[in-house]
Amino acid sequence: MNNTIKNEIEQLFNLKIIGEQQFPWGESYFLGLESNFKINDPDKPRRSVSIVTVYPDKEQKIHTHPGYEEVIYGLEGETIHWSNNSKIVLRKGQIGYISAGGQHVMLNISDKPAKLMSIAFPSFPENLGPISSIEDVELTELTKMTNLDAIAGKFAQNIKLGVSLVDINGSLLSKLKNFPKFCKICIKENAGDCVISPHGRGHVGNDLRMCKCKFGVYSVQSPIIINQRLLGFLGCGYGRISTVNYEDEQFIRKEFPQAILEKAVLEYKNLNFINRNHLTSVAEMLSLVSASLVQLIIQAAREKQLNSYKISLIKEKQRQAELLSSLNEAKLKLLESQVNPHFLFNTLNTIAQTAVMEGADSTATLTYALANLLRSSLGKNDSQISIRDEIDHIRDYIYIQKTRFPDRFNFSLEISPQIEEVKVPFMTLMVLVENSIIHGFSSIRWQGDLRVRGYKENNNVILEVIDNGIGVPNQVVEKVKRFSNQSYLTSSLKGLGLKNVYKRLEYYYGTNFNFEIERLPQKGTEVKVILRF
Concatenated DSSP letters of 392-407: HHHHHHHHHHHHHSTT
What pLDDT is stored for residue 69 in this prediction? Answer: 82
Look up residue 484 and give its DSSP letter.
G
DSSP summary character for residue 272: P
Strand-pair category, 86-90 with 209-212: unpaired
Give the integer Cα–Cα distance in Å for 66 and 123.
9
What residues contact 219, with CB distance under 8 A and at least 6 apart? 162, 194, 210, 211, 213, 235, 236, 237, 238
One digit per residue, the tens of pLDDT, for the chain of length 533 reads: 466 666 776 666 677 888 788 888 998 888 876 544 443 443 344 567 888 999 999 999 887 776 678 889 999 999 999 887 789 999 998 999 988 777 889 999 999 999 998 888 776 544 444 444 455 555 665 555 555 666 666 676 667 777 887 777 777 777 777 788 888 888 888 888 887 776 555 455 677 777 888 888 888 888 777 667 777 788 888 888 777 778 888 888 888 888 888 998 898 888 877 777 777 767 766 766 766 666 666 666 666 666 777 777 787 777 777 767 766 665 555 444 444 454 455 556 666 666 666 667 677 676 766 666 666 665 555 578 899 999 988 888 888 788 777 888 999 999 999 999 999 988 899 889 989 988 899 888 899 999 999 999 999 999 999 999 999 999 999 988 888 766 544 433 333 478 888 888 988 898 899 999 999 998 899 999 999 98
pLDDT in tens, 364-375: 676 766 666 666
Q: What pLDDT, on the 0 to 100 scale, is given for residue 312?
A: 74
Separation of alpha carbons 504 and 326, rounded Å: 8
pTM for the model: 0.39
Domains and CATH numbers, the chain: 3-122 (2.60.120.10), 140-306 (no CATH), 379-532 (3.30.565.10)
**Strands 448-457 vs 409-415: parallel, antiparallel or unpaired:** parallel
pLDDT reported for residue 310: 74
E strand residue ranges, 65-178: 68-76, 79-83, 86-90, 95-98, 103-108, 114-122, 162-167
DSSP 3-state of 161:
coil
Residue 23, beta-bridge partner list: 26
Q: Which amino acid is at 110?
A: S
- CA distance between the termini of the chain: 76
